[in-house]
Amino acid sequence: MAVDTLTFAVMALVYLVIVLALGYLGYKQTKQAEDYMLAGRKVHPALIAISYGATFISTSAIVGFGGQAGYMGMGLIWLTFLNIGVGILLAFVVFGKKTREIGSKLRAVTFPDLMGKVYNSSFMQYVCGLVILVGMPLYAAAVITGAGRFIETTFAINYNLALLAFAIITAVYVILGGLLAVIYTDTFQGIIMLIGMTVLLAFTFISIGGVTNGFQALTDLASTAPASLTKTGFNGWTQMPTLGSPLWYSMITSIVMGVGIGVLAQPQLVVRFMTAKNNKSLNRAVPIGGFFILMMTGVAFTVGALSNVYFQQTAGTTAMAAAGNNIDSIIPAYINAAMPDWFVVLFMLTLLAAAMSTLSALFHTMGTAAGNDILGKWKKQKPSILMNRASVLVMLVISVIVAYIMPTSFIAAATALFMGLCAAAFLPAFAHALYSKRPSQLAAKSSVVVGSLVWLFWAVFVHAKYAGIVGLAKLIFGTNLLGAPWQTIDPFIPGLIVSTITMAAVWMLDRRPEVEEEVKVKQVKA
């Protein structure tokens, strides 16, 4: 479908002017390092909610996970329930309030800084920062790739050029304006995302003959699924895969649980809680954030699955086949084939907004982890805006390099990988830090290290897809270390289980009264 490039150019120019203006506003209000990293700790609840949601939802959710729904079916809608119940309600009410209270008391400015101060441990700050610097470029690359693929598909622009330009524009306002710029632009971009996804859902139902007819047609398509899909446990696009099948393990452990639970320990999201003025602000943010997540993920998963109906009606094929067997191209292919020209332009801006909102938060988190938690701690210097800005630039270069070498159909997988890593490495120690009266430094160190190593081992030597990409398992052992069903279970599952057991076991062994009292005194002084 030909897109009116002049219309898009005008709309994109207006969009970029507004984004850069908001970035400049954040720059003008950023006076010191704490402003750069925490936006002054007085952000409005609505801004927190939309910024949190826009950071959480990116092109990896819309393009990557929407494409997965087009391939796997609407079972992914369970992720929407987890995103709202865990990623919003539990995250804000149970984790968010304590994070804000402790972060404010200890004057923590980043997630690694919070962990380091709670446990009175430079090691904890270093290792948390290191996990971010090693793992987050993969997630950032997935976001950049999602935007680059849509630009390439829609406008026949060279993919490498689209990817690079997009990443640089996003980095500009993050480098200049810090977290204030990120929050301001996230909110604006979140509003665009809401409009775009609402219109997309309406047009989708119109294009396939209505809600009832559309879902019935999708149910009836089960018999058209290719044998390569059905042999993995696929039962149709409106049904769950067979319990215990490879597809079921992939859907539930990698996507639904990996992302749905992993969100609780996402450093770029945790820092949002520390920007709130008080707990009442977090309470007020919950309904706004819940509605936003419902419209983003619920629409993406529904439209992704229903795209099969459209392609069957118009081309006699599945969405996967219509997209050239590239999961990451299903949503772009559907939008370009089914939607009017003006909506292609609107959705282009929606995806740009989704990608920019997440990518800006990731750049900011990686930059502050490098500048404040690694370099600043190592040099024993107070955090500086200049050091953090330089670090953002370095992480931009690394993320772009990773995006160039990332394999196809890997956007959703890369997102799930990083979120699973955060859960395995951080979640037990993070929960312990928030709710234990006497947090055990030894237990936290052990949990983070063991969780990270188990996650890495499983990803490199056991999981079929990830180990196949890395190639070490085949090189050293000739094959993956474990067979079915283990090789379809996401690394986050064994990583989180072992990390939690390690935390509990070491904590019980380390509960000595004199040690507990010493740690408590140090925390109060900090």
**Residue 316 DSSP one-character state:** S
Degrees, nearest 5: CA angle 447-452-453 = 105
| Nearest alpha carbon to residue 485 among 253, 237, 275, 295 | 253
Is the Cβ–Cβ distance between 457 and 425 less than 8 Å? no
Q: Which pTM does this prediction carry?
A: 0.81
pLDDT by residue for the chain (526 residues), tens only, comes to 445 667 777 887 888 888 888 888 887 877 776 667 666 677 888 888 888 888 887 776 788 889 999 999 999 999 999 989 998 999 999 999 999 999 989 988 889 999 999 999 999 999 999 999 988 998 888 888 877 776 776 667 787 888 888 788 888 877 777 777 788 888 888 888 899 899 999 999 999 989 999 999 999 999 888 888 899 899 999 999 999 898 998 888 888 888 888 888 899 889 888 888 888 888 999 999 999 999 989 999 999 999 999 999 999 999 999 988 888 789 888 988 888 877 888 887 887 788 788 888 888 889 888 888 888 777 776 666 778 788 888 888 898 888 888 776 667 677 778 888 999 999 999 999 999 888 999 999 999 999 999 999 998 888 877 777 776 777 787 777 777 778 888 898 999 999 999 999 999 888 755 444 554 545 545 4
| Identity of the residue numbered 506 | V
The three-state secondary structure class of 421 is helix
Of 115, 95, 190, the residue nearest 369 (C-alpha) = 115
Which residue reads 């989704």 in tokens? 354
Write the DSSP string, 497-525: HHHHHHHHHHHHHT--HHHHHHHHHHHHH
> CA–CA separation, 429 vs 326, rounded Å?
38
Domains of the chain: 5-421 (1.20.1730.10)
The angle at the Cα of 37, spanning 139 to 117, to the nearest 5 degrees, equals 90
Q: What is the DSSP track for 41-55?
A: G-B-HHHHHHHHHHH
pLDDT of residue 227: 86
The pLDDT, as a whole number, for residue 488 is 82
DSSP per-residue string spanning 117-163: HHTT-HHHHHHHHHHHHHHHHHHHHHHHHHHHHHHHHHH---HHHHH
pLDDT of residue 379: 72
CA–CA separation, 95 and 89 (whole Å):
9
Model confidence pLDDT, tens digit, residues 110-166 = 899 999 999 999 999 999 999 999 889 988 888 888 777 767 766 677 878 888 887
